[in-house]
Structure formats: structure tokens, C-alpha cells
């Protein structure tokens, strides 16, 4: 009867243990992401609140834009929400 081939055993590893490398996780956020995201959202909110609460005679935030001041505020808020898609 034929004899089966035996499997080769792995050689014993060296006596020095493997050193674990501490690396930045793959899914980590850049440091600028969260402050920029929150800053844009708060700036947009502040722009809209400032537009609604100031008297028409003061001319805040930008008098030449008139009703488009709302659009500026919403664009800032949407840009902040757009950055939330990169948040891991």
C-alpha cells in the first residue's frame, strides 16, 4: 500500500517578538473636517438670523443682496452638510 506524503512542518519562528506598528486608522477624519463643517453650518445659521433680526435700515448682512441673503445663508449650511458625507 502506498504511503501518504507527510506535510512539512513550519519552522519555528525567531525568538524576537514582532513589533506592532501604531498607524493612523484608514477611516480617520482629517483634522480640519469637523471644525470646518460646524463652522460653515453655524455661519450660515448666523447669516440667516442676522438677516431676519436686523432692521431694514441697518443694511445687515449685505444690503445689496436683499432677499438673496437667505440664499447665501442656505448655501453655507448646505456646504456644511456636504462635508458631513466625508465624516467617518
Size of the chain, expressed as the number of residues it contains = 88
CA 61, chain centre distance (Å): 28
Cβ-contact 80, 41 below 8 angstroms = yes
CA-based nearest residue to 75, from 36, 35, 38, 48: 48
Give alpha helix (H) positions in 1-88: 33-53, 68-84
More confident of the two residues 65 and 5: 65
**Taking residues 24-29, what's their average pLDDT?**
76
* Model confidence pLDDT, tens digit, residues 42-87: 999 999 999 888 877 777 888 888 889 999 999 999 999 999 998 8
Question: How far apart are alpha carbons 71 and 44 in whole angstroms?
Answer: 9
Amino acid at each position: 500500500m502506498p504511503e501518504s506524503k507527510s506535510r512539512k512542518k513550519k519552522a519555528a519562528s525567531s525568538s524576537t517578538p514582532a513589533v506592532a506598528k501604531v498607524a493612523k486608522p484608514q477611516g480617520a477624519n482629517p483634522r480640519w473636517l469637523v471644525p470646518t463643517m460646524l463652522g460653515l453650518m453655524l455661519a450660515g445659521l448666523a447669516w440667516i438670523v442676522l438677516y431676519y433680526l436686523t432692521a431694514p435700515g441697518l443694511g445687515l448682512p449685505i444690503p445689496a443682496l436683499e432677499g438673496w441673503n437667505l440664499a447665501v445663508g442656505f448655501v453655507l449650511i448646505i456646504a456644511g452638510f456636504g462635508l458631513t458625507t466625508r465624516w467617518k
